[in-house]
Amino acid sequence: MGIRGQLAVLVGGLVAICLIGAAFAAAENRRQEEIEQMRIRSERVLDAIGVTVAVFVAENDMAGLDTLIAHVSEPGRYPDLREISVLDAETRVLAHSQPERFNQLASDDFSRSAVVHDGVVWTCDGKLLKVAVPAVSGLRWATVTASYSLERLEAAVAASRTRWLLMSLGLAATLALALFLGLDRLVVRPLRSLQQAARRMGEGDLKSRVPPLRTHELGELSGAFNRMASALQHERDNLEHTVSERTRELKQANERLERLAVTDGLTGIFNHRRFQEALAQEVLRSTRSSRPVSVLMADVDHFKRFNDTNGHPAGDELLRRLASVLAAELRATDLLARYGGEEFAVVLPDTGKAEALQAAERLRSAVDRQLNAEGEHTRRVSISVGVATFGTDGDGPQALLAAADRALYVAKNRGRNQVVAASLEVG
């Protein structure tokens, strides 16, 4: 849809919305007035009936009371009346337009409210108007309640609303047509030539130009458009080259940053951050699939003494070799990370406590065997390992990690170079 159509629809639509809103508001106002008039009329009728009802109840003339209610509820006497009843102070039905309701308790909120109020009570409940008045003859002897149908009233309001709606739509359509024809002559035709030139440029024809337009404002617009087109081809070539180069550089930089973000710079294995992410993911997966996951916490025994004796460069080299030995003993699905300092952590997916203990012992043995060549170091290299399994030793990532860490320190306290499984009693 072009600009003329859009503006015509917009203005016509706004006018239609305003008129329709006014029509609905007027119809609703009329509806409220009609309901109020019906309420007033029903109050007068019930007030008149209430005096007679009070006399019948005071004299305990139930037959007369039934006759009165039957007379009032005769078909055609009050067209909108649906039911009428007389209630005592305990909401017991003394008389009703439906005889089978006699002597029952009215349990609805309206009836309970009506019998305790001294004046008129009414409510508009869906398509029913309910009104209640006290039956008074010296004293209050009962309460008269009646329900009136609002169907006829609603039908009249709907018919009025429809008439207003049709009138509003007709007026809006007339305004939209007039606006459509005026915009076509004054705006759309001059702009169409500019649109066609822009479309050709969008399709790659950068030599496309706009012919001079007659009106002052559109003439300035066409001149600016042509000057822009002259410079666009040169700028496009430069921009494409620059974007291509920057995209390549950005991709390489992002790849480097991603590797650095999850890799330990000294050992080349995953770092503490990646370990925490992997542990949280595996615990979540274990929760969903009910499959086990275990964690190992390993620490180099007497690493500070090793550094003091052999020097920090030798300590760094030891950590690199240790990472290589541990990685070679793990499965492809396991995740090895440097937790911090001389501590290493391992996530073992789909691994229960017994299998995790075997894996930990395999790591400890490999370190003891491969990093203690004769005469290589002045102090023997070994690791202590703590083992924890999700569900058994912890119900969350941090609890599981804490259990493995406590088991690691038990291994340290028991003499190092050994594997200890976590338990609820550890620590």
Please identify every residue annotated as catalytic: 342
3-state secondary structure of 261: helix
What Å distances lie between residue 281 and 49, 86, 323, 375, 426, CA to CA? 77, 71, 23, 43, 25
Quick one: which of 211, 215, 214, 216 has its CA closest to 194?
211
DSSP characters over 379-403: S---EEEEEEEBTTTBSSHHHHHHH
DSSP characters over 39-94: HHHHHHHHHHHHHHHHHHHHTT-HHHHHHHHHHHTSTTTSTTEEEEEEE-TT-BEE
User: In this structure, are strands 121-125 and 128-137 parallel, antiparallel, or unpaired?
Assistant: antiparallel
What does the DSSP 8-state code read for residue 100?
Answer: G
Residues 113 and 121 sit within 8 Å (Cβ to Cβ): yes
What Å distances lie between residue 294 and 81, 144, 208, 279, CA to CA? 77, 77, 69, 9
What Å distances lie between residue 196 and 230, 234, 242, CA to CA? 17, 22, 30
Instruction: Copy the structure tokens of residue 64.
Output: 């007369």
What does the DSSP 8-state code read for residue 99?
Answer: G
Instruction: Copy the structure tokens of residue 355.
Output: 């299998």
- Single-letter residue type at 416: R
Distance from C-alpha of 42 to C-alpha of 121, rounded to nearest angstrom: 12
Residue 78: CB atoms within 10 A of its CB come to: 16
Residues 295 and 388 sit within 8 Å (Cβ to Cβ): yes
Per the listing, tokens 């890799």 go with: 263
- The side-by-side arrangement of strands in the sheet containing 121-125 is 93-96, 81-87, 139-149, 128-137, 121-125
